[in-house]
Structure 1
Amino acid sequence: MHKLFHTLSIQFSGFITKLISIILKVGAFITPTLSKRLVWHLFSTPFKGPVRKNILREKLFSQAKVLDLSFGSSFVRTYSWSCKGKSCKGKILLVHGWGAYALSMACLINPLRELGYDVISFDQPAHGKSPGRQTDLPKMVDSLDIVITQLGAFNAAISHSFGGIVITNWISKNINRGQFNTIKKLVLISAPKDMMATIKQFSKKLDLTSKHNAHIVERVEAITYQPINDLTITGFLKGRGIMNLLVHDENDTWVPLSDSMQAAERVDNGELFITSKLGHTKLMCSDLVIDKIKIFMSNH
């Protein structure tokens, strides 16, 4: 059965997506318990697609200081790059999204170093070179806590996609840890507005039943010890005094622009920067976005 789960946990596309959807719907009638288990397995399994060769990523990897931090019985792999220049302004943390890895945000690293910051990134549990097949929000937040506690303090953080939920959740849980929670600026790129939005998007891709949705919500609430409606970026950031830049593309087909628009209106000190025709990930390598982030980091 585990092999079946693992086989089905590949990137959703075309025929495979339809096949999984049919299996889940039929299973809901024949073996509801097993069908729910499969849905949760798929929801908590990152999709590790092939990593294309990239000169920038390969060069940065060769330059990085690699350090594995103990995380329970496993470890979290971290990558560090020193600032360029005689004196550094501080540290910036990069937090990648679901199914990605540390160097998926490679385009941002050198511009931040040239701005005078050390840059640290890491592979979240079950991502990149960090071991595991499955993970969830609490585990990702806990791994982030290990990184910040041992490699902080950070002046700012930049996240992509689901990484936005992870970093804002950590901030909300650690507001009173002054020596560690030093983040004053936050950039949220292509971020979902809340955990429910993530579940709905996952459900839409697989055309799940309402019972499957309810099961995912139930499991998320059980492992986070929070109602699903409390797992929101705006709730996590309320009253934190952090400067927030939200970056989103109007043609994002994974997380809609409306998520960042709503979040920007509700968070304290929120600014929204909208791009076009760059989708969910390409905007991280856009000169317009990189320049906007550099200005944001330099101001105030």
Structure 2
Amino acid sequence: MASFGLKVIRGLFGLGERLAPGVSGRIAFELFCRTPDANRPTDGERRAIERARDFMAEARHHRLKTQTGCVAVHEFRPEPGRARAGTVLVVHGWRSRTEFMRVLIEGFREAGYRVVSLDLPGHGQSTGRRLHLVRAVEAVRLTADWFGPFAAVVGHSFGGAVAANAIAGSVRATAPVAADRLVLIAAPSSLQMVFDGFSRALNVGPRSSREMARKVERIAGRPLGDFVGSRQLREAKVATLVIHARDDKEVPTDHAEDYASAGDHVHLHWADGLGHRRILTDRAVARRAVAFVSDVASPSAGLLRAAG
């Protein structure tokens, strides 16, 4: 059952659609971009952050200045005795942070990679309370300027969409990020579908939604409908592994299948039973990602398209 607050918001957007759709659309876009307060985690998030305290202490911590604040970048060196295999950039999803990417980061460190993990604006130790795709891609580009090029970029959920757009160079005046491999975990492929879901949840009407789309085009330099994963991966031609669970309740399987339709350079692996967030803590998923990045031409990697 919807909360009283949600019912009020839905009612206000319904009224705005009738009386002032331009204003309603702009307010909806700002609400869409509003990030959770990183200083007020849930009990579960607080426990995860506490468990990762020693892990985070092993990193070198950097702060990169942006036009709107600072982003935190955490640099994890390979484990002692491991040969350095290159640098992997890890990008978390919405309402997430570096601590929640621990299993993936450890997997790549154990394989000899330096791992650079970015806290997106409004998340973790980065500043701000506002985030959209363009600002996220700009943060990835800035991180690449300091720490790239990358052997791979690995993104979960929203971070996967950010990674795909960063590599494809989808955002106006932001150069593509160089990477040999791309790993997308539970990632949405269509920005339009994400906006549609948001609009349905908050009762944002069609005229207000069109104003949201115009806002995206003004910021990003291209129409909302251009931000589709299969199109980006067809343009980028980077060897890509898509990992998704059929029981993911936040990002439907249609998104994974869209990415996979981009061509033979995209490999799809089903990790069923792991949902949207448990997939991040599964060590078999981490091993699959590391194996793909380490040797995309290996026999095991070649089977990934049919796996699952």
TM-score by length of 2: 0.85
Instruction: State the partner residue of 1:218.
Output: 214
Q: Give the drift of 1:69.
A: 0.9
Instruction: State the partner residue of 2:26.
Output: 37
C-alpha distance 180-42 of structure 1, shift in aligned 2 (>3 A): closer
- State the Cα deviation string for residues 242-299 of structure 1 (Å, max 9, x = none): 1111011111111101110121122451111112232211111113312211221232
Is residue 295 of structure 1 aligned with residue 275 of structure 2?
Answer: no
Q: Give the drift of 1:116.
A: 0.8
**Equivalent position SS for 1:18:** helix
Matches within 5 A, 1:1-300: 14-48=3-37, 49-50=41-42, 51-54=45-48, 55-84=50-79, 85-173=81-169, 181-299=177-295, 300=297
**Equivalent position SS for 1:52:** helix
Q: Comparing 155-164 with 128-137, which one deviates more in the overlay? A: 128-137
**Equivalent position SS for 1:238:** helix
- Return the letter of the residue paired with 2:35: P
**Bigger RCO (CA 8 Å, 6+ sep):** 2
User: Is the CA contact 1:246–1:264 (under 8 Å) kept in the aligned structure 2?
Assistant: yes
C-alpha distance 96-267 of structure 1, shift in aligned 2 (>3 A): farther
**Equivalent position SS for 2:7:** helix
**Equivalent position SS for 1:198:** helix
Q: Give the drift of 1:59.
A: 1.9
- Return the letter of the residue paired with 2:154: I
Count of residue correspondences: 284
CA distance in 1, matches of 2:98, 2:71: 11
**Equivalent position SS for 2:179:** coil
CA distance in 2, matches of 1:189, 1:168: 11
CA distance in 1, matches of 2:8, 2:247: 27
C-alpha distance 30-257 of structure 1, shift in aligned 2 (>3 A): same
- Return the letter of the residue paired with 2:231: G
User: Is the CA contact 2:71–2:126 (under 8 Å) kept in the aligned structure 1?
Assistant: yes
CA distance in 2, matches of 1:71, 1:26: 37
User: Is the CA contact 2:189–2:229 (under 8 Å) kept in the aligned structure 1?
Assistant: yes
Instruction: State the partner residue of 1:4.
Output: none
Q: Give the drift of 1:148.
A: 0.5
TM-score by length of 1: 0.87
Q: Give the drift of 1:33.
A: 4.5
C-alpha distance 42-181 of structure 1, shift in aligned 2 (>3 A): closer
CA distance in 2, matches of 1:279, 1:203: 23
User: Is the CA contact 1:103–1:121 (under 8 Å) kept in the aligned structure 2?
Assistant: no
- Return the letter of the residue paired with 1:60: F
Structure 1 unaligned residues grouped into runs of 5+: 1-12
- Return the letter of the residue paired with 1:37: R
- State the Cα deviation string for residues 117-174 of structure 1 (Å, max 9, x = none): 0111111112222111112221111111110001112110110111122122221229
C-alpha distance 144-181 of structure 1, shift in aligned 2 (>3 A): closer
